[in-house]
């Protein structure tokens, strides 16, 4: 059976799964991506990922709970009941030895195991990553994050994945690995290309066919896709992130060195063009390269007015789906970017509506 035929069949199956979970009519993507560089199964998975959510600021905090939310069973249930894909960001590096071997803390690993297995049991796709390895990109450590010697930074990433690949090698193929969230800084360009290839090699030793996500530098920036040189491997999906227009999505964010002013609305014709143009450039890269894309993050900070958060979410969703690109929204339940309020126990309904209706 041809790649395009398999992709079309599984794309339809993915749409049915989302419909059953949400009770809403999930609109199929208007086009499929070019998958000439990957296997039929990888192509089909890229399209089946469809609509997803990040369980952010939970296991990726320096210590779970540091950022206002913990990974509770109710969040797993809510995510799996409403989305086809759940991205699980994990700060493995703060729960591993500071030495080159990076031996992972078993108690923390079992905590992650339970989350992965609970999600897989519900039938969703799970993207498991290494998140917020701040020092490897040259960033300062977050509070409660320990530093390591600069000489072991890259080797620790390789050895973390050596352990994770072995640990999860027998899990469902619906578990996908993402090597590193948002490489940037000292990793931009060829340093990341080389380290990604080195890290992928240790994954392939125990997981020869598992789908792996690798993104470009500059925070998984779409503009960096031409600089991403992937190793010869037919089980890859390329992870991209997009928060454009950034002064809008991050207005009032106090974690930035110079916070953007608040009061900026969205989305007028110019803002919609910015969003469409950057995703169109991603589509062109896909058509030229043959590697399918996944939009792993987009979202708005809590200081944005709710009507604009709704408009932005719907605009990005529509523009991604129009190009056949699956996505995972950032994110479910933290106070800063979340679409669900732990305080009230309710969705921020305009955002839910924009993403799922």
pLDDT for 8? 41
Given a cut of 70, the residues of the chain with pLDDT beneath it are 1-30
- If 0-12 CB within 10 Å is exposed, 13-18 middle and 19+ buried, where does residue 51 land? buried
Distances (CA, A) of 173 to 45, 160, 209: 10, 20, 9
Mapped onto helix, strand or coil, the DSSP state of residue 221 is strand
Mapped onto helix, strand or coil, the DSSP state of residue 239 is strand
How many residues would you count in the chain? 357
Closest to 22 measured CA to CA, from 75, 76, 82, 78: 82
Contact 200, 212 (CB under 8 A): yes
CA dihedral 48, 61, 230, 51 (to 10 degrees): 20
Domain holding 217, by residue range, is 3-356
Taking only the tens place, the pLDDT of each residue in 196-205 is 999 999 999 9
Half-sphere exposure of 12 (CA within 13 A, CB side): 5
pLDDT for 31? 84
Question: Per the structure, how many domains does the chain have?
Answer: 1
pLDDT for 30? 59
Closest to 295 measured CA to CA, from 306, 308, 287, 283: 283
Closest to 299 measured CA to CA, from 345, 342, 261, 348: 348
Q: What are phi and psi of 322, to 5 degrees?
A: -60, -25
| pTM value surpassing 0.75 | yes
Closest to 301 measured CA to CA, from 345, 263, 268: 263
* Bridge partners (DSSP) listed for residue 328: 52
- CATH code of the domain covering residue 229: 3.20.20.80
Q: What are phi and psi of 150, to 5 degrees?
A: -60, -25
């Amino acid at each position: 059976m041809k790649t395009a035929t398999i992709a079309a069949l599984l794309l339809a199956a993915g749409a049915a799964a989302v419909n059953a979970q949400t009770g809403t009519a999930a609109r199929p993507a208007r086009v499929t991506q070019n998958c000439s560089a990957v296997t039929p199964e990888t192509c089909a998975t890229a399209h089946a990922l469809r609509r997803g959510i990040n369980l952010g600021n939970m296991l990726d905090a320096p210590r779970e709970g540091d950022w206002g939310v913990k990974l509770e069973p109710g969040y797993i249930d809510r995510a799996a009941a409403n989305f086809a894909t759940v991205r699980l960001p994990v700060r493995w590096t703060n729960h591993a030895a500071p030495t080159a071997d990076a031996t992972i803390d078993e108690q923390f690993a079992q905590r992650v195991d339970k989350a992965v297995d609970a999600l897989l049991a519900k039938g969703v796709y799970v993207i498991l990553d290494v998140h917020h390895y701040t020092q490897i990109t040259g960033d300062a450590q977050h509070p409660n994050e320990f530093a390591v010697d600069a000489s072991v930074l890259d080797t620790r990433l390789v050895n973390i994945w050596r352990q994770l690949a072995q640990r999860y090698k027998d899990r469902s193929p619906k578990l996908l690995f993402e090597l590193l969230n948002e490489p940037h800084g000292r990793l931009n360009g060829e340093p990341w290309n080389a380290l990604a290839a080195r890290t992928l090699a240790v994954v392939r030793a125990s997981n020869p066919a598992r789908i792996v996500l690798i993104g470009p530098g500059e925070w998984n920036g779409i503009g960096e896709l031409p600089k991403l040189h992937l190793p010869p491997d037919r089980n890859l999906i390329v992870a991209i992130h997009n928060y454009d227009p950034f002064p809008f999505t991050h207005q009032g964010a106090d974690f930035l060195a110079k916070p953007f002013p608040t009061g900026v609305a969205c989305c007028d014709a110019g803002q919609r063009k910015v969003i469409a143009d950057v995703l169109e450039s991603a589509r062109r890269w896909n058509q030229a390269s043959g590697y399918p894309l996944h939009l792993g993050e987009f979202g708005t900070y809590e200081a944005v007015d709710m009507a604009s958060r709704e408009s932005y979410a719907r605009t990005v969703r529509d523009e991604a789906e129009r190009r056949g690109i699956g996505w995972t929204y950032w994110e479910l339940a933290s106070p800063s970017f979340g679409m669900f309020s732990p305080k009230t126990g309710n969705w921020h309904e305009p955002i839910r509506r924009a993403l799922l209706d």
